[in-house]
Structure 1
Amino acid sequence: MSLQGASSTSTATGPRASSLAIPGLSMAGGPRVTMSPAKRQWERLQQALLARKDRLSQWVLPRATGMQRASLAPTIGLAGQLTTYQLEPETRFDCDRVRVIIQEVFVDNLERVQYDELAFKRLGVQIGEEVRSRIKRLNFDRYRLVCYVQLVQRRNQGFYSRARFLWDSERDDCASGYFETAHVFASCLVLGVYKE
């Protein structure tokens, strides 16, 4: 029995049409494509991402087009700055100058103050922000500053504080300062962590 005779006696939509089909060919003559549900879902996801790509790329890189967009994409860092791969800081973190700033801020804010639990919560944050803003004026380029302030009521007790961090010992550094009055003990730790 030939294929030509079988197709003339049966209809294309009948039950015998699928039994007479040649494997790999559809009734239209092209290759038969069967796709798993996971692959269909993956292709729909790819199409949705491609549809959104133009809107997102116009928002992130408004002036770059086509090949420019592809060449600029790997050079943009997480903070939106261009990466420079600068391994050494231009201005190193100077611990002595930072210690002087810590002492000045402590004297300005704590010299004649009585301990008050509610007021000292705000005062600790205020001291940390003031120390950090004064250190930023020293222009330690590419350093992230972490300022840790502790204010404790003094009642003839001991005070023990410890901090441990993981950092690059060649580029990162820290400075600390302490201040005591009859009513208050204050400590401040400032970390200068270099951002490559």
Structure 2
Amino acid sequence: MADDEEVQETEAITESQAEIAPAKVTPLDPPKYEIRPKLGEKFQADNVREIIIQIMQEQLMGRVYRVDQAPHWAKMIANGVRSKVEDLGMKRYKIMAQTTIMEMKGAGAKCAQRCIWDPETDDYAASHYRNDSIFCYTICYGVYMY
């Protein structure tokens, strides 16, 4: 008799499983984040380079190097470049600008940068300005925020 009871319980489970309706499959919502910028929204290195040249010329044209004024000029150039590049409307880009101002004394200078980033979305633009007493190098990075 004990064996008959076990068989009946097993049959009851299979009958109740047959009564359960199959789960409805609903499509997933599209992702709410952008993995890559669209074609027209990538970092515009050529436009940024023009902005860098324009800002450096506006700030440094006709000036003579002064050690007490060089940090102020560098901040003005970097902030001006960053704000004008942000006005280009490149969505989801972190914009960073760096300016170095040195006195022209006939010595050489080498500038290099090394970054770990996504070469498909991230980029930079750089340019330099010089006159008889000032050498200025400005670089602007655009890093896409995922």
TM-score, with length taken from structure 2: 0.75
1:155 corresponding residue in structure 2: 105
Unaligned runs of 5+ in 2: 1-30
Match for residue 37 of structure 2 among 89, 93, 105: 89
User: Please, what is the CA RMSD of the aligned residues?
Assistant: 1.2
Q: Deviations over 1:129-173 (max 9, x none)?
A: 000000011001100011111101001111111111111111100
**Bigger relative contact order, structure 1 or 2, given CA contacts below 8 A and separation 6+?**
2
Q: Which runs of 4+ in 1 moved over 6 A?
A: none
Amino acid at match of 2:125: A
**How many residue pairs end up in the alignment?**
114
Bigger-Rg structure (1/2):
1
Structure holding more strand per residue: 2
1:177 corresponding residue in structure 2: 127
| Other structure's SS at 1:159 match | coil
- Mapping 1:14-33, distance limit 5 Å: none
Among all aligned residue pairs of Structure 1 and Structure 2, give the percentage whose two residues are the same amino acid.
Answer: 25
1:84 positional shift: 3.1
d(CA) in 1 for partners of 2:119, 2:143: 10
1:122 positional shift: 1.1
d(CA) in 2 for partners of 1:153, 1:139: 35
| Other structure's SS at 1:115 match | coil
- Mapping 1:9-88, distance limit 5 Å: 84-88=32-36
Structure holding more helix per residue: 1
d(CA) in 2 for partners of 1:84, 1:192: 22
Match for residue 108 of structure 1 among 21, 45, 58: 58
| Other structure's SS at 2:142 match | strand
1:93 positional shift: 0.5
TM-score, with length taken from structure 1: 0.56
